[in-house]
Every structure is written in C-alpha cells, then in structure tokens.
C-alpha cells in the first residue's frame, strides 16, 4: 500500500487534505512483516530491552549493597549516569527520536539539556541553604535546632 505518488496531486491539496500522504517517507508503508529489515528492527528492540534490564539490575545491586561503602557523591553520579543512559536508549530507539531529522532531535533535546542546569542550580541552592543555616553568624543566637 505504497503512496509515494505525490505528483498527480499538488502539495497544497495534500496539506489541506489527507496529510498522511505528505509523510509517506516516515510512515512508509512496508508490506512484509517477515522481511529481513523488519526482523532486524525487532531484534534491535529486544536488544535495547536487555540493555535496559541489565542497567536496572546494576543500579539495584549498587543501591542495595554498594551504596554504603562508597562515597555518596560517586554513588549518586553512577545512578544519574545510568539513568540518563537508560533515558537515552528509550528516547532514541523506543520513541524513534533517533530516526527523525536532526533539527527536530535538537528541538526536543536542547531544552532538556538546559533543564539539567536548572536541576543542578536548585539542588546546589538547597545544599547551600543548609550550610548557610548551620554556619551563618547571624543565626548563632538561635538554638542550634538543625544541629
């Protein structure tokens, strides 16, 4: 059911009518579910599933056994790195963002990267407030409730 024949209908008419034909490159109507191409895509999906499973298991094992013997900052770094890795796989393979035009990928990813700055800023803020409350000379007269 291929619809690559845009030539007899103008782009304008397609745009105002059945838009699916405009994107026949993306929503390509393949016909054979058993073709090698299809089978490879399915294999890739299952491969990513196993990767996600292994990463999750590593995270849980770390959380259960190793988190008490390693410095907290290192443990947290590992957890965040593994989580971002999982997110990357899900977004690029499962959500097919990796198959889109580069401009569109950037449209989605750049705000999220800037969001990381937001995260760091607010966590640092929280930590700073704790430190400030503990050490500020202006607060020395308050009974040290926050130890």
| Cβ atoms of residues 74 and 63 within 8 Å | no
Q: How far is the CB of 78 from another protein (least distance, A)?
A: 9
Alpha-carbon distance 56 to 1, whole Å? 41
**In b/e form, how buried is each residue of 37-67, taking b as 16+ CB within 10 angstroms?**
eeeeeeeeeeebeeebeeeeeeeeeeeeeee
Candidate list 54, 98, 122, 136; residue touching another protein; CB under 8 A: 122
Contact between 136 and another protein per CB under 8 A: no
Alpha-carbon distance 39 to 111, whole Å? 34
Contact between 42 and another protein per CB under 8 A: yes
Q: Give me the 60-89 binding string for another protein, x by CB under 8 A, dash otherwise.
A: x-xxx--xx-------x--xx--x--xx--
How many residues make contact with another protein (CB under 8 A)? 72
Contact between 145 and another protein per CB under 8 A: yes
Q: How far is the CB of 36 from another protein (least distance, A)?
A: 13
Classify 67 as helix, strand or coil.
coil
Candidate list 5, 8, 12, 140; residue touching another protein; CB under 8 A: 12
Contact between 98 and another protein per CB under 8 A: no
Q: Which residues contact 14 (CB under 8 A, 6 or more apart)?
A: 6, 21, 22
Q: How far is the CB of 137 from another protein (least distance, A)?
A: 19
């Amino acid at each position: 059911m291929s619809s690559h024949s845009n030539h007899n209908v103008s782009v304008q008419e397609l745009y105002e009518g059945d838009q699916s034909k405009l994107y026949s490159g993306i929503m390509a109507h393949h016909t054979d579910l058993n073709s090698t191409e299809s089978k490879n895509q399915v294999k890739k999906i299952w491969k990513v599933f196993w990767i996600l499973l292994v990463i999750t298991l590593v995270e849980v094992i770390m959380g259960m056994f190793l988190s008490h013997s390693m410095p907290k900052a290192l443990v947290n770094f590992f957890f965040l790195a593994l989580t971002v890795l999982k997110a990357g796989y899900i977004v690029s393979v499962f959500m097919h963002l990796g198959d889109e035009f580069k401009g569109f990928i950037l449209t989605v990813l750049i705000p999220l990267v800037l969001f990381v700055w937001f995260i760091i800023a607010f966590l640092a803020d929280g930590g700073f407030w704790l430190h400030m409350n503990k050490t500020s000379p202006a607060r020395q007269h308050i009974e040290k409730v926050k130890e």
